[in-house]
Amino acid sequence: MRRSAPRGLLFPFVLLVAAAPLAGQQTLTVFAAASLTEAFSALGARFEAEHPGTAVRFNFAGSQILVTQIEQGARADVFASADQRWMRYAADRGLLVGGAAVFARNRLVVLIPRSNPGRVQRLQDLGRPGVKVVLAGRQVPAGGYSREALRRLGEAPGFPADFDVRVQANLVSEEENVRAVAAKVQLAEADAGIVYRTDVTRDVASGVLQLEIPDPYGPIAEYPVAAVVDGQVELARTFIDLVLSPSGQAVLAERGFMAAGGTTPR
Amino acid sequence: MTRPSWRHPAREALCRLIVLGLAAVLAALLALPLLSLLVRVPIATLLAEVGEPPVREALWLSLRTSLAATALAALLGLPMAHLLATRRFPGKAALEVLLDLPLVLPPTVAGFALLMAFGRAGLVGRALSVMGISLPFTTAGAVLAQLFMSVPLFIVAARAGLTAVSSRYLDAAATLRASRAYTFWRVRLPLALPNIVAGLGLCWARALGEFGATITFAGNLAGRTRTMPLAVYLELQQNLGAAATLSLLLVIMASVLLVAMRQAGLGLFAPLHAARRAD
- Write down the ipTM of this complex: 0.75
Half-sphere exposure of B13 (CA within 13 A, CB side): 3
Among B119, B220, B222, whose Cβ lies nearest the Cβ of A175? B220
Chain A residues in contact with B234 by the CB 8 A cut-off are 137, 139, 174, 176
Q: How confident is the model at residue B2 (pLDDT cuts 50, 70, 90)?
A: low
How far apart (Å, rounded) are the C-alpha atoms in residues A123 and A127? Answer: 8
CB contact under 8 A, A171 and B121: no
What is the mean pLDDT of the segment spanning A140-148? Answer: 96
Q: Say whether residue B233 is in contact with chain A using an 8 A CB cutoff.
A: yes
Q: Is beta strand A208-212 parallel, antiparallel or unpaired with respect to A108-113? A: antiparallel
CB contact at 8 A, B195 and B274: yes
What is the mean pLDDT of the segment spanning A2-13? Answer: 46
Q: What pLDDT, on the 0 to 100 scale, is given for residue A200?
A: 94
Q: How far is B109 from chain A (nearest CA, A)?
A: 15
CB contact at 8 A, A58 and A67: no
Chain B residues in contact with A187 by the CB 8 A cut-off are 115, 119, 121
- Which position has the higher pLDDT, B40 or A77? A77
Q: Say whether residue B119 is in contact with chain A using an 8 A CB cutoff.
A: yes
Q: How confident is the model at residue B274 (pLDDT cuts 50, 70, 90)?
A: low
DSSP secondary structure letter of residue A3: S
Q: What pLDDT, on the 0 to 100 scale, is given for residue B146?
A: 98
Q: What pLDDT, on the 0 to 100 scale, is given for residue B142?
A: 97
Report pLDDT digits (tens) over A219-232.
999 999 999 999 99
Q: How far is A12 from chain B (nearest CA, A)?
A: 31
**Looking at A50-54, B44-48, B85-89, which range is the least confident one?**
B44-48
Q: How far is A138 from chain B (nearest CA, A)?
A: 10
What is the mean pLDDT of the segment spanning A177-205? Answer: 93
CA nearest to B195, candidates B57, B68, B82 = B82
CB contact under 8 A, A189 and B234: no
Q: How confident is the model at residue B238 (pLDDT cuts 50, 70, 90)?
A: confident
Q: How confident is the model at residue B254 (pLDDT cuts 50, 70, 90)?
A: very high
Q: Is the pLDDT of residue A262 over 50?
A: no
Size of interface A-B (CB pairs under 8 A): 53
CB contact under 8 A, A189 and B136: yes
Q: What pLDDT, on the 0 to 100 scale, is given for residue A24?
A: 62
In sequence order, the 6+-apart residues with CB closer than 8 A to the CB of B238 are A64, A138, A139
**Looking at A19-23, A135-139, B13-17, B119-123, which range is the least confident one?**
A19-23
Half-sphere exposure of A250 (CA within 13 A, CB side): 4
Q: Is beta strand A192-196 parallel, antiparallel or unpaired with respect to A108-113? A: antiparallel
In sequence order, the 6+-apart residues with CB closer than 8 A to the CB of A97 are A226, A227, A228, A229, A233, A236
Q: How confident is the model at residue B257 (pLDDT cuts 50, 70, 90)?
A: very high
Report pLDDT digits (tens) over B161-186.
999 888 888 888 888 888 888 888 88
- Which position has the higher pLDDT, B132 or A28? A28
CB contact under 8 A, B237 and A65: yes
CB contact under 8 A, A176 and B120: no
Q: Is the pLDDT of residue A202 over 60?
A: yes
CB contact under 8 A, A173 and B221: yes
DSSP secondary structure letter of residue A258: B
Q: How far is B253 from chain A (nearest CA, A)?
A: 27
**Looking at A51-55, A90-94, A189-193, B118-122, which range is the least confident one?**
B118-122
Q: Is the pLDDT of residue B129 over 90?
A: no
Best interface-test mutation with A: which of B120, B134, B230, B239 has the largest number of A CBs within 10 A? B120
Partners of A102 in beta bridges: A224
Find the closest chain A residue to B219 by CA distance: A173
Among B115, B215, B233, whose Cβ lies nearest the Cβ of A189? B115
3 state SS of A55: strand
Q: How far is A84 from chain B (nearest CA, A)?
A: 16
Q: How far is B49 from chain A (nearest CA, A)?
A: 19
E strand map for A7-157: 26-33, 54-61, 78-80, 96-106, 108-113, 133-136
In sequence order, the 6+-apart residues with CB closer than 8 A to the CB of A162 are A154
Among B115, B224, B234, whose Cβ lies nearest the Cβ of A137? B234
Q: Is the pLDDT of residue B230 over 90?
A: yes
How far apart (Å, rounded) are the C-alpha atoms in residues B239 and A52? Answer: 42
Q: What pLDDT, on the 0 to 100 scale, is given for residue A15?
A: 44
Q: Say whether residue B115 is in contact with chain A using an 8 A CB cutoff.
A: yes
Q: Which residues of A touch B (CB under 8 A)?
A: 62, 64-65, 68, 115, 117, 132, 134, 137-139, 171-176, 184, 187-190
How far apart (Å, rounded) are the C-alpha atoms in residues A111 and A132? Answer: 12
SS (H, E, C) chain B: CCCHHHHCHHHHHHHHHHHHHHHHHHHHHHHHHHHHHHHHCCHHHHHHHHCCHHHHHHHHHHHHHHHHHHHHHHHHHHHHHHHHHHCCCCCHHHHHHHHHHHHHCCHHHHHHHHHHHHCCCCCCHHHHHHCCCCCCCCHHHHHHHHHHHHHHHHHHHHHHHHHHCCHHHHHHHHHCCCCHHHHHHHHHHHHHHHHHHHHHHHHHHHHHCCCHHHHHHCCCCCCCCCCHHHHHHHHCCCCHHHHHHHHHHHHHHHHHHHHHHHHCCCCCCHHHHHHHHCC
Give A129-158 as a DSSP string.
Answer: TT--EEEE-TTSHHHHHHHHHHHHHTTSTT
Q: What pLDDT, on the 0 to 100 scale, is given for residue A56?
A: 96
Q: Say whether residue B225 is in contact with chain A using an 8 A CB cutoff.
A: yes
Q: What pLDDT, on the 0 to 100 scale, is given for residue B121?
A: 85
Q: How far is B24 from chain A (nearest CA, A)?
A: 27
Find the closest chain B residue to A64 by CA distance: B237
Percent of chain B with pLDDT over 70: 92
Q: Is the pLDDT of residue B69 over 60?
A: yes
What is the mean pLDDT of the segment spanning A85-114? Answer: 96
How far apart (Å, rounded) are the C-alpha atoms in residues A239 and A75? Answer: 16
Q: What pLDDT, on the 0 to 100 scale, is given for residue A112?
A: 97
What is the mean pLDDT of the segment spanning A89-110? Answer: 95
In sequence order, the 6+-apart residues with CB closer than 8 A to the CB of B178 are B186, B187
b or e along B8-34 (b: 16 or more beta carbons within 10 Å of the residue's beta carbon)?
eeeeeeeeeeeeeeeeeeeeeeeeeee
CB contact at 8 A, A69 and A91: no
CB contact under 8 A, B137 and A132: yes
Amino acid (one-letter) located at A122 = R
Q: Is the pLDDT of residue B256 over 50?
A: yes
How far apart (Å, rounded) are the C-alpha atoms in residues B238 and A134? Answer: 20
φ/ψ (deg, to 5) at A100: -100, 140
Q: Is the pLDDT of residue A11 over 60?
A: no
Q: Is the pLDDT of residue A266 over 80?
A: no
Partners of A10 in beta bridges: none
Q: How far is A87 from chain B (nearest CA, A)?
A: 14
CB contact under 8 A, B220 and A115: no
3 state SS of A107: coil
Report pLDDT digits (tens) over A205-251.
999 999 999 989 999 999 999 999 999 999 999 999 999 999 999 99
